[in-house]
Amino acid sequence: MTKDQLIESVASKCACSKKAASDCVDAILDGITAALQKGDKVVFTGFGAFQVSKRAARQGVNPKTGEKIQIKAMTVPKFKAGKALKDAVK
């Protein structure tokens, strides 16, 4: 499902315009992004949780040349599915 398809789904379920649905979807995504930038955890009970995870620096290999490279430490977003979502997908 793409963002446009999600917007269409929200618009049809809420009986609102695509513009209003687009604004709602964008607001939700902006809220999640802002919370993760602050280092907060975003939890949707039953659906899952978004959180920030730190990756340590490590050594990797360039698959094209076989040359060893150093990969920097970084902070990455992480999603953990909730029980209800896992059960729904089964």
3-class state of residue 71 by DSSP? strand
Q: Are 11 and 24 in contact (CB under 8 A)?
A: no
Looking at the domain that runs over 41-90, which CATH code has it been given? 4.10.520.10
Q: Are 31 and 40 in contact (CB under 8 A)?
A: no
pTM: 0.81
Of all helices (H) and strands (E), which one includes residue 73? none
- Tens of pLDDT, residues 31-71: 999 999 999 999 999 999 999 999 999 999 999 999 999 99
DSSP secondary structure string, 45-68? TTTEEEEEEEE--EEEE-TTT--E
- Tens of pLDDT, residues 24-40: 999 999 999 999 999 99
